[in-house]
Amino acid sequence: MSEHICGRPLGLAFNKMSGHLYIADAYLGLHMVGPEGGQATKLVTQAQGISFKFINGLDIDQNSGDVYFSESSSYFHRRNYILLSVSGDKSGRLLKYDPKGKQVTVLVENLRYPNGVALSKDSNYILIAETPNCRILKFWLKTSRAGILEVFAQIPGFPDNIKRNLKGEFWVGIYSRRGRFAKWIISNPWFGKFLFKLPVDPMRLQSVLTNWGGSGLAVKMNEEGNIVKILEDKSRKTWRSISEVEERNGTLWIGSITEPYAGMCNTSLG
């Protein structure tokens, strides 16, 4: 694969006031494209002297313009994400970029594969998908609880991106359910490391873990962290390896890690 040379854009979000598009590229760092499009401008590639290895999810505070993004690991690159998942690595970070001062700040460290991020409707807190632990974390940015990290929700599979709808609810794309086999591997990092010493193609291993876990899911949570809806294609014919769910104008747009298309369905189903 040449993605470490060409880059791999993952997190995307517009600043609605300025029209700038911010891009979290897993390998090349945080970038920005102006309202007219064209060549992206590189903004930052490291924090606290540590170069980015795998930045991932991204969201923007539409009032302040601050850009929040996750770094899934300070050690593993994106192309090694299966090894990252099973290794027990806890070098992930949550970061904030201030476009006015052009400074990046580390907000949370020692996270295990932080993935998608999403700000609350009032921007008082931000949610972080911690993939191997099958949970969503909440980090308080404002109020008297500012600086506190807590568990927002436990979910039935491995979460990828989180997207907030206009009501303030959150849609989580889930790669697959947490089957017993995958749960055991991730709970025992020594076995995961042993697997990767064997002459086995990592992508084949990924396929095995996914098949054991079942189909992907789309999960909707309310602002209290309660799951209020689960969508799943148990036949695995349409939705597999779901990466994100975006709700807009009565439609759910569904992305996938493995499928070469975007799915869609009416929100009445969700």
Q: What pLDDT digit, counting tens, does each position of 20-62 carry?
A: 999 999 999 999 999 999 999 999 999 999 999 999 999 999 9
As a CATH number, domain 1-154 is 2.120.10.30
How would you list the strands of the sheet with 135-140, edge to edge?
Answer: 114-119, 125-130, 135-140, 149-154
- The residue that leads in pLDDT, 138 or 206, is 138
pLDDT at 236: 67
pLDDT at 14: 97
3-class secondary structure, 126: strand
Report the chain's mean pLDDT, rounded to a whole number. 88
pTM of the model: 0.90
Q: In the structure, what pLDDT confidence band is assigned to residue 232 with cuts at 50, 70 and 90?
A: confident
pLDDT at 196: 63
Q: Find the mean pLDDT for residues 152-165.
A: 95
Domain boundaries, the chain: 1-154, 156-270
Helix axes 202-213, 180-187, angle to 10 degrees: 130
Q: In the structure, what pLDDT confidence band is assigned to residue 269 with cuts at 50, 70 and 90?
A: low
Write the single-letter amino acid at 31.
H
pLDDT at 240: 78
3-class secondary structure, 221: strand
Instruction: Quick: pLDDT tens for 176-187.
Output: 887 665 666 666
Place of tokens 């191997």: 132
Q: Are 107 and 99 in contact (CB under 8 A)?
A: no
Q: Are 110 and 128 in contact (CB under 8 A)?
A: no
- For residues 245 and 132, what is the distance between their CA atoms, to the nearest angstrom? 19
Place of tokens 């308080």: 140
